[in-house]
Amino acid sequence: RAKLDGRGVVRFFQQKLHDELVRQHYLSAQLEEALDNGEFSLHYQPQVSAASGRIENLEALLRWEPAEGPPLSPAEFIPLAERSGVIHRMGDWVIEEACRQQVEWRAKGFHEHRVDINVSGRQLVRPDALKSFEDALQRHGLGPRDIGIELTENVLIEADETVLEDLWRLYHRGIHIAIDDFGTGYSSLSYLKHFPVTALKIDRSFIHDAPTQPKDRAIMEGAIFIGHRLGLEVVAEGVENAEQLSLLREMHCDLIQGFFFYRPMPAKDIDRLLGGFVPGSEGLSS
Ligand code: C2E
Ligand code: MG
Ligand code: MG
Ligand code: MG
């Protein structure tokens, strides 16, 4: 290994860290303003039946397009929003917008699909977060077939009594509760026995290499098997090619989400899909 100039390296990383902190501070301040200015929107990514290719659900994914500068990924700004606390307002906005859009779709005659929103752990620190979710549904005249939620396993593990009670209430009302990024948390499988869950979303890291890596394939297959034995719906995330799809179909995975079928897109593009226009369905003719 080449010997590095220690001090030069330290200076380099200090500068990087400094730049990054400045950028984060700047972005946090922008988030509040961006909410006021309506710079956020929801994109929707279809989940299709592995068997039929039919669109069953849509995942709502937050997008930020600042008035100036390029769009930012939620992977970048959600953690910032969590740290600064603006995640609560942002989460309220997401629920409200998803409900509004779903009501609009229903009015247009699109009755089949459900919309699922992402809820982060930090959002549930606010004790009334799930109650305000239920209130929003009620206010919009929506029910369990209309809107569901996605949580990561860590969120369930770390949830306190009140949150769990609320989740159980949602569950008993028939609200769809999916475990997002399944298999990537630091939890034992036993939580699947104790928590209110209706679906597993297998993380895309396992899907990605399943065609070439026996271990990834084993984990993917195992997850589908466990999910089904527990009576859960199983969704594969990040499906990008025909090889992955064909394995998932062989294993009777229920739903497929990924660029191979559809990328996340604005609501108006979803209108065309729900209206019957189906690009990408050629992927299923095998
Ligand atoms: P997630 O919930 O696991 O969402 C799936 C992510 O995978 C999305 O990234 C989606 O665009 C991406 N994806 C879907 N299909 C493919 C594929 O075939 N290949 C690849 N490489 N990627 C694919 P996105 O939209 O950038 O969102 C990132 C994360 O940000 C989400 O991960 C979620 O944890 C969080 N997020 C997004 N919207 C919201 C929101 O409204 N509220 C909260 N709390 N978190 C959100
Ligand atoms: Mg998700
Ligand atoms: Mg996910
Ligand atoms: Mg993810």
Confidence label for 276 from pLDDT (cuts 50, 70 and 90): confident
CA 52 vs. chain centroid, Å, equals 23
- Distance CA(186)–CA(270), nearest Å, equals 35
- Distance CA(57)–CA(60), nearest Å, equals 10
pLDDT digits (tens, 9 = 90+) for 68-118: 889 999 998 999 999 889 999 999 999 999 999 999 999 999 999 999 999
Nearest to 53 by CA among 216, 265, 242: 242
- Distance CA(16)–CA(169), nearest Å, equals 46
- Distance CA(269)–CA(272), nearest Å, equals 5
Q: pTM, whole model, 2 decimals? A: 0.90
Ligand 1: does its nearest atom lie under 6 Å from the Cβ of 73? yes
Ligand 1: does its nearest atom lie under 6 Å from the Cβ of 269? no
Burial class (CB in 10 A: 0-12, 13-18, 19+), 154: middle
Q: Determine which residue's CA is closest to atom 8 belonging to ligand 1.
A: 61
pLDDT reported for residue 285: 45
For ligand 4, the distance from its centroid to the CA atom of residue 8, given in whole angstroms, is 36
Ligand 1: does its nearest atom lie under 6 Å from the Cβ of 258? yes
Q: Determine which residue's CA is closest to atom 17 belonging to ligand 1.
A: 238
pLDDT digits (tens, 9 = 90+) for 216-261: 999 999 999 999 999 999 999 999 999 999 999 999 999 999 999 9
Under 8 Å CB-to-CB from 16, ≥6 apart: which residues? Answer: none
Considering every ligand atom shown, identify the ligand nearest to the alpha carbon of residue 61 and give its number.
1
HSE (CB half, 13 Å, CA atoms) of 237?
Answer: 19
- Distance CA(283)–CA(55), nearest Å, equals 14
Contact between 140 and 117 under an 8 Å Cβ cutoff? The reply is no
What is the ipTM score, two decimals? 0.98
| Most distant pair of Cα atoms in the chain: their distance | 67
Mean pLDDT of the chain: 92
For ligand 4, the distance from its centroid to the CA atom of residue 108, given in whole angstroms, is 31
Q: What angle do CA 99, 102, 106 make, to 5 degrees?
A: 140
Dihedral angle sign, alpha carbons of residues 227, 212, 278, 263: positive
